[in-house]
Amino acid sequence: MLCSLRCSAAGRRPNVVFILADDLGWGQLGCYGSDYYLTPNIDRLAFKGMRFTNAYAAAPVCSPTRASIMTGKYPARLHLTDFIKGGDPPEGSRLDHPDWRPHLPLEEVTLAEALKAEGYATAYFGKWHLSEEKTPPQSLPLNPDKQGFDESFVTYKPSQGLAREWQTPEGDGHNVELITGKALDFLDRHSDGPFFLFLGHNTIHNPLMESEGRIARYRDAPGAERPENHPVIAAMLERLDESVGAIVERLETLELERDTVVVFFSDNGGLEKEADQTPLRSGKASLYEGGIRVPMIVRWPGKVRAGAVCHEPVCSIDFFPTLLALAGSGQPPENIDGISLVPHLMESKSLPERALFWHYPHYHSAGEGPCAAIRRGDYKLIEWYEKSLLDRDGAVELYYLASDVSESRDLSREMPDRAREMLSELNAWRNRVNAQLPEVRKSDVSKGSR
């Protein structure tokens, strides 16, 4: 099948444009049901491509998910399990974070390196967040230019006090226009392809800020009073949506639309403290659905059926093997955890039955504490490490997502056999990928640990 996919309509391997939003929740787009957030360009992308309703980030925070996209591996296998540079456990916490890896190692084969070996020109513009961010970011040895990208520009994060002079609410506060401009220039210079272009946006990450003119349009809009809606987020999404529109329009102008796979994704769920993630529970930094279920769209005119909707569970670990297959490449490197979605994208075939796993052995101010999770079919089990390592009681919760997407009814006591079976599978996976468990603090050692 790879031979038949090797050439696009123009007789060449497809280009790839990957657009990654930051902290964008599952329901914060028009094509995912919002009647408040206005995203006509992203909605049009979904209308002309395949929209995924059960797509997941491999972690509830940004850096591990970004690492999973680049490598096709679970963050637990990489020992890169928290945002870089991470935070300390809160005072009074009973567990310590493991000695995790706060960077993506150079020895890992990245998606950019794999596609570059296939003759692709590669570029990364935006938030990298796979190594420590310092001034100037280009001086770091682990940045995109050392991970397979021919061209790169790493943006500063306003939330870390590394803002440029133009990063003000009335200016390009989160570098959307800067990233977009560099991407458009790259497209103009590489229209003969094939190319892999990655736009890593900072939007809609904190600090929430936009121009007053944009915000004003949403303050009194219908639905503004609902807890899931936020006028500043709406204004920020408007600018992000304009960027998506500009990229797609340039592809059309360069007559590259039918030769280019466009992917839209988010690195984790939305920040619940700013806007409810209704109908999902919780948000960023949580392994409830609000923290890991995210919007995902794939468009390739003439190849991926327009208006298609996929309800099967997929994950950010799947991008690596999928995009390699679309490029006509051979087998991906060993220890890849993801699977190729090409049969489903191209031929609407069902995906093989499998479980998906999450491992977040950290505390985060926006989350509920160190935990792990497994989804198999429509059942999802969450394990809380404080309870499983120390208290032993009430360590797991079990939900049936097909009828309870809000995770409001814990079935662990009603279905103890299924809960035990899924916990056993989660334990086996942890051992298989050599996951790092949080460490019991000395004051609690006497209470026992697993």
Tell me the average pLDDT across 49-56: 98
Q: How confident is the model at residue 183 (pLDDT cuts 50, 70, 90)?
A: very high
Q: What class has domain 2-347?
A: alpha beta
> Is a pLDDT exceeding 80 seen at residue 189?
yes
Domain 355-447: which topology? Arylsulfatase, C-terminal domain (3.30.1120)
Q: Where are the domains of the chain?
A: 2-347, 355-447
- HEC-encoded secondary structure of the chain: CHHHHCCCCCCCCCEEEEEEECCCCCCCCHHHCCCCCCCHHHHHHHHCCEEECCEECCCCCHHHHHHHHHHCCCHHHHCCCCCCCCCCCCCCCCEECCCCCCCCCCCCCCHHHHHHHCCCEEEEEECCCCCCCCCCHHHCCCCHHHCCCCEEEECCCHHHCCCCCCCCCCCCCCCHHHHHHHHHHHHHHCCCCCEEEEEECCCCCCCCCCCHHHHHHHHCCCCCCCCCCCHHHHHHHHHHHHHHHHHHHHHHHCCCHHHEEEEEEECCCCCCCCCCCCCCCCCCCCCCHHHHECCEEEECCCCCCCCEEECCCEEHHHHHHHHHHHCCCCCCCCCCCCCCCHHHHHHCCCCCCCEEEEEECCCCCCCCCCEEEEEECCEEEEEEHHHHHHHCCCCEEEEECCCCCCCCCCCCCCCHHHHHHHHHHHHHHHHHHCCCCCEECHHHHHHCCC
pTM: 0.93
Question: Where does the pLDDT of residue 143 fall: very low under 50, low under 70, confident under 90, or very high at 90 and above?
Answer: confident
What's the pLDDT tens digit per position in 2-30?
333 434 444 579 999 999 999 999 999 99
Residue 449 pLDDT: 41
pLDDT at position 347 over 90: no
